[in-house]
Structure 1
Amino acid sequence: MAETTTIQVSRHARDHLAQVAKERGMNLGQLVEQLASEQLTADQIAERVAATRKVLRERMGCTLTDEEFDQGPDVLANVYAMAAEKMHALRGKAA
């Protein structure tokens, strides 16, 4: 069994989390473990971003640089549009 420790929170937070855990059919420790596993660290996010960009470049022919990806919030929407255009083109060739 994993070593355990104590986390101090307000009584209100504890009671709220205990109710959420009860509704999900788990104990408070299990809920906290689940919540912790769902939260990525900055390093984990950076790894996922790098991996996603690599896939976009290698498999989708995306030519955006890291700087271009970082410049705007609409880059992801543009990538989706590029992917949609590519799919439409491929479907047009198959017809």
Structure 2
Amino acid sequence: MTVTLERPAAVYPRYTERMADTTIKVDRAVRDRLLELARERGMTMRDLVAELAGATPTQDELRARYEATKAYVEEHFLGRPYTEEDEAAGEKAWADVAAGRLGEIQ
């Protein structure tokens, strides 16, 4: 389905000078889902996609967040370097919480 929008000549050139449009081809189901999500939030699909992109960290951002968190834990909680044993204990604690075994966490 092709939709043609007519914009006043006075508005459209100013708009295109500031915005770079890109077409993203997705399945109809994905398009419909994005439209539904955007409508529920009272925004355009363009704004929704921008929000999703802004809220999704890159691998580099995730690594930087991990390193910052690790440094904070070492300084404020451990007083020593964070080890693989600490990580394994943390993973076990989360698994226990998820399984409802709160009393077994040390």
TM range (shorter): 0.5 to 0.7
User: Which residue in the other structure is 1:17 paired with?
Assistant: 34
Structure 1 residues 61 and 69 mapped into 2: Cα distance closer, same or farther (>3 Å)? Answer: closer
Partner amino acid, structure 2, of 1:37: G
Aligned residues: 76
Structure 1 residues 4 and 62 mapped into 2: Cα distance closer, same or farther (>3 Å)? Answer: farther
Shift of 1:56: 0.9
Report sequence identity in percent: 34
Partner amino acid, structure 2, of 1:61: L
Shift of 1:33: 0.6
Gap regions ≥5 residues in structure 2: 1-17, 95-106
Structure 1 residues 69 and 48 mapped into 2: Cα distance closer, same or farther (>3 Å)? Answer: farther
CA RMSD of aligned residues (A): 2.2
Structure 1 residues 61 and 67 mapped into 2: Cα distance closer, same or farther (>3 Å)? Answer: closer
Q: TM-score, normalised by structure 1?
A: 0.66
Q: Are 1:75 and 2:90 matched, yes or no?
A: yes
CA offsets per residue over residues 1-48 of structure 1, 9 Å max, x none? Answer: 342211110111101111110111000010011111111111110000
User: Which residue in the other structure is 2:72 paired with?
Assistant: 55
- 2:60 and 2:43 map into 1 onto residues whose CA distance is 29
Report which of the two structures shows the higher radius of gyration computed on alpha carbons: 2
User: Which residue in the other structure is 1:5 paired with?
Assistant: 22
